[in-house]
Amino acid sequence: MNSFDTISVIEGNIVEQEVDAIVNAANNSLLGGGGVDGAIHMAAGPQLLEECRTLGGCPTGGARITRGYRLPAKWVIHTVGPVWQGGNAGEDSLLASSYRNCLELAAIHKIRSMAFPAISTGAYGFPPDRASVIAVTTIKDFLQNDDLLSDIRLVCFSRSAFCHYSSALNRIIGE
Ligand code: ADP
């Protein structure tokens, strides 16, 4: 699969994306929080929280899948990104692991289109210039061994996030 055609960066609200799966930047409890997590639970309705309660949480860097309920997306893939602690506490590899585990769940469920938020760059404080490079690189590497995913959107909630992620995409995929 050609990653240049597959990966796109858009400015928008992830809950509105008409894709097979949206990714939630959750916390370890998977029982709801603020930011994108709050927006996804609000839009999906209370059944999402009911299903999340059955999962027993998720480690940092891991991912879990649920139904999407009232969302346009059929699935929600919940991942827990690392909290930024200055950059020397394994944050880079944990963030890459979040993206990779989401992509692996997508492959298992034969998902063709999915949307990621800018994992860890909100309340968790990961610098977006560094997070965006990890996001694009990890997705690009995964696509080398995948032939089903054909639409991966990096959904940015602000103009500045959009600038970081599109610049990373142009630099890394343009190479
Ligand atoms: P984290 O705890 O992983 O940092 P946050 O939800 O605080 O998660 O933020 C992650 C990113 O998601 C931030 O860039 C934030 O601006 C963005 N975000 C918040 N709400 C939405 C939304 N509805 N759609 C897309 N992105 C969102």
Ligand 1 atom nearest to CA at 37: 6
Structure confidence at residue 14 (pLDDT): 98
> Which tokens sit at 4?
């240049």
Residue 20 known to be catalytic = no
Domain of 146 in residue numbering reads as 3-173
Query: What is the residue with the minimal CA distance to atom 5 of ligand 1?
Result: 122
The whole-model pTM stands at: 0.98
Structure confidence at residue 3 (pLDDT): 67
CATH number, domain containing residue 148: 3.40.220.10
**Kindly report the CA angle at 51 between 146 and 34, in degrees rounded to 5?**
85
Structure confidence at residue 2 (pLDDT): 59
DSSP result, 54-83: TTT---TT-EEEEE-TTSSSSEEEEE-PPP
Map residue 140 onto helix, strand or coil.
helix
Q: What is the pLDDT along the chain (175 residues), one digit of tens a residue?
A: 456 689 999 999 999 999 999 999 999 999 988 999 999 999 999 999 999 999 999 999 999 999 999 999 999 999 999 999 999 999 999 999 999 999 999 999 999 999 999 999 999 999 999 999 999 999 999 999 999 999 999 999 999 999 999 999 999 997 6
Instruction: Please tell me the total count of domains within the chain.
Output: 1
Instruction: Please state, in angstroms and rounded to a whole number, the distance separating the CA atoms of residues 70 and 89.
Output: 37
Query: What is the residue with the minimal CA distance to atom 1 of ligand 1?
Result: 120
